[in-house]
Amino acid sequence: MTTLAQPSPIAVMDEAGPSTSSTIGLTPLAELVQRSVKRSRAVYSAQDSTTDHGLDEATRIKLATKLAAEFKDVQTLPPVLAAQQAGPAGPKRPAQPAANGGGAGPGVKLIGGPETASSSTSGSAAAAAEPRLLVKFRHQQGFAAEGGHSGSRLSQALMRKKEAREVKPVYHPQWKLTRVISGHMGWVRAVTVDPDNQWFATGAGDRVVKIWDLASGELKLSLTGHISTIRGLGVSDRHPYLFSCAEDKMVKCWDLETNKVIRHYHGHFSGVYSLAVHPTLDVLCTAGRDASVRVWDMRTRANIFTLTGHQSTVADVKTQDSDPQIISGSMDSTVRLWDLAAGKCMTTLTHHKKSVRALAIHPTEYSFASASSGGNNIKKWKCPEGIFVNNFVGHEAIINTLSLNTEGVMFSGADNGTLTMWDYATGLPFQHLKDIPQPGSLDAEAGVFCSTFDKTGTRLITGGADKTIKVYSEQA
């Protein structure tokens, strides 16, 4: 008869070597689990109802202070709402024991600190006040409007403040066409007025610069020398010089005492579309199809700076005696403000959606306007940062020219022959005109390409596609 072999003792490896003389028992599973979840117990012990939420005294005071500061006005239910909830109307709320803190009577805090967190049960949502009642209460007290209506005291006060903040437009007299001057054989693309307000000069597609008497409108002088369409003119305030630029890449300086060209400024790679004379420095700025603005020394003909950065034709450039001293508008739909001392771009304005064709600087307000085509196509900017001020809404066309006078009247002329007079302070139009083409010309030749006010601001001179110069006067 065979007997079963006895189980051999478990061999245990220790530092001294294998030993078969000792046996160990298995550790209870509960103890192993308790050891393995020690970290989890420490992290999540705040959720255990038997612990004190894991908050020390300092944290509890800080939380209670924050709750008191942020929810001070809504911790206690208003007496009106408490009386409405205590009434017989509506279904009864389930009764809450006083120790539970779930009642919604007067003086009971609806939002509490950590000391009330343990008392929150599944029925606490039913004890919360209905949010709509609080809105109604605030509406009854006049603090807010109910349902988006503007009947509250706060809404009315805001509306009155907005009305007081809106600037009322100043009255401006109406403008009327008083003279039509013929003489050019091409589109009139440039016009400028003498600083002494005695005469004005125009340049056109017939490659001739003509000087006219401002009072009588008679032709005084014709200057020939350009071999392509003249696009820009400027008269120096401090020298007897007239500057002209054309699509033949040439910039000329005319001496008005001898009526001859005395300087040429060479450097542009393509047609020159705009020209501006600095009011206080002996500096001349030109811009054109080569997407650059060039700054010239008036006396030495030296190219001081070549301001690059535009991606397309620069249609207009303006100068002023304070920063930004040079402002350029381009066909890439941007306006750039340039630092003349450093020869770098200060700011790029990208608000326009289409090509910027015209700029106008206010003579006294330290602001300027830019114009393009499409909706909201005329914009006002504040110098020197180029902060957007407002849109001029009401002239839906391709704007070719802008002009400003000291009385706060801005003129905009468009490609389709529409003219608009604006109140510059508020951006509101006060007169709309329509350019009348010269008899014998096409109806499509009603476009306005250039404009300027005289030094008094009471006469406006425009040049258009019908080869005529029109003078508009302010009506008394």
Q: Is residue 46 part of a domain?
A: no
Question: What is the overall mean pLDDT for the chain?
Answer: 82
Closest CA relative to residue 287, chosen from 359, 198, 224: 359
Q: Residue 313's pLDDT band (boundaries 50, 70, 90)?
A: very high
Q: Residue 203's pLDDT band (boundaries 50, 70, 90)?
A: very high
So what's the pLDDT on residue 72? 72
So what's the pLDDT on residue 166? 67
Region 185-197: what's the mean pLDDT? 96
Q: Is residue 149 part of a domain?
A: no
The predicted model scores a pTM of 0.67
Question: Are 80 and 229 found together in one domain?
Answer: no
So what's the pLDDT on residue 37? 78
Q: Is residue 76 part of a domain?
A: yes
Closest CA relative to residue 82, chosen from 152, 46, 130, 118: 130
CB 285, CB 293: distance < 8 Å: yes
Strand ordering across the sheet containing 326-330:
314-319, 326-330, 335-339, 344-349
Residue 205, pLDDT above cutoff 60: yes
pLDDT digits (tens, 9 = 90+) for 118-173: 444 444 444 444 555 555 655 555 555 544 455 567 777 777 776 666 667 889 99
Closest CA relative to residue 413, chosen from 405, 428, 403: 403
Question: Are 223 and 109 found together in one domain?
Answer: no
Question: Are 390 and 310 found together in one domain?
Answer: yes
Q: Is residue 34 part of a domain?
A: no
* Other beta carbons within 10 Å of 26: 6
Comparison of pLDDT for 117 and 259, the residue scoring more = 259
Residue 294, pLDDT above cutoff 90: yes
Residue 319, pLDDT above cutoff 90: yes
pLDDT digits (tens, 9 = 90+) for 172-184: 999 999 999 999 9
Closest CA relative to residue 431, chosen from 174, 176, 178, 177: 174
Q: Is residue 310 part of a domain?
A: yes
Question: Are 342 and 452 found together in one domain?
Answer: yes
State the burial class of residue 110 (Cβ atoms within 10 Å of its Cβ: 0-12, 13-18, 19+).
Answer: middle
Question: Are 79 and 191 found together in one domain?
Answer: no
Q: What's the CA angle centered on 18, arms 17 and 20, to 5 degrees? A: 145
Q: Is residue 259 part of a domain?
A: yes
Question: Are 187 and 110 found together in one domain?
Answer: no
Q: Is residue 266 part of a domain?
A: yes
Q: Residue 8's pLDDT band (boundaries 50, 70, 90)?
A: very low
Question: Are 81 and 219 found together in one domain?
Answer: no
So what's the pLDDT on residue 71? 76
What is the domain range of residue 194? 175-474
Region 85-109: what's the mean pLDDT? 50
Q: Residue 12's pLDDT band (boundaries 50, 70, 90)?
A: very low
Q: Residue 304's pLDDT band (boundaries 50, 70, 90)?
A: very high
Residue 321, pLDDT above cutoff 60: yes
Question: Are 208 and 108 found together in one domain?
Answer: no
- 311: domain CATH number? 2.130.10.10
Residue 214, pLDDT above cutoff 60: yes
Question: Are 183 and 108 found together in one domain?
Answer: no
Comparison of pLDDT for 158 and 316, the residue scoring more = 316
Tell me how many domains the chain contains.
2
State the burial class of residue 451 (Cβ atoms within 10 Å of its Cβ: 0-12, 13-18, 19+).
Answer: buried
So what's the pLDDT on residue 388? 95
Comparison of pLDDT for 424 and 112, the residue scoring more = 424
* Other beta carbons within 10 Å of 336: 24
- Residue 128 backbone dihedrals phi, psi, to 5 degrees: -70, 150
Bridge partners, residue 241, by sequence? 255
Share of the chain above pLDDT 70, in %: 75
- Distance, in Å, from the CA atom of 223 to the CA atom of 378, rounded to the nearest integer, reads 35
So what's the pLDDT on residue 139? 57
pLDDT digits (tens, 9 = 90+) for 432-469: 999 988 888 777 788 999 999 999 999 999 999 999 99
So what's the pLDDT on residue 19? 46
So what's the pLDDT on residue 124? 47
pLDDT digits (tens, 9 = 90+) for 15-57: 444 444 445 678 888 888 877 777 676 766 655 544 455 578 8
Sequence-distant contacts of 371-375: CB under 8 A, at least 24 apart: 371/399, 371/401, 371/402, 371/412, 372/333, 372/398, 372/399, 373/397, 373/398, 373/399, 373/415
Question: Are 371 and 249 found together in one domain?
Answer: yes
Comparison of pLDDT for 7 and 416, the residue scoring more = 416
Bridge partners, residue 251, by sequence? 245, 265
Question: Are 252 and 400 found together in one domain?
Answer: yes
Question: Are 393 and 262 found together in one domain?
Answer: yes
Bridge partners, residue 218, by sequence? none
Residue 293, pLDDT above cutoff 90: yes
Residue 116, pLDDT above cutoff 70: no
Residue 389, pLDDT above cutoff 60: yes
pLDDT digits (tens, 9 = 90+) for 243-288: 999 999 999 999 999 999 999 999 999 999 999 999 999 999 999 9
Q: Is residue 162 part of a domain?
A: no
CB 136, CB 103: distance < 8 Å: no
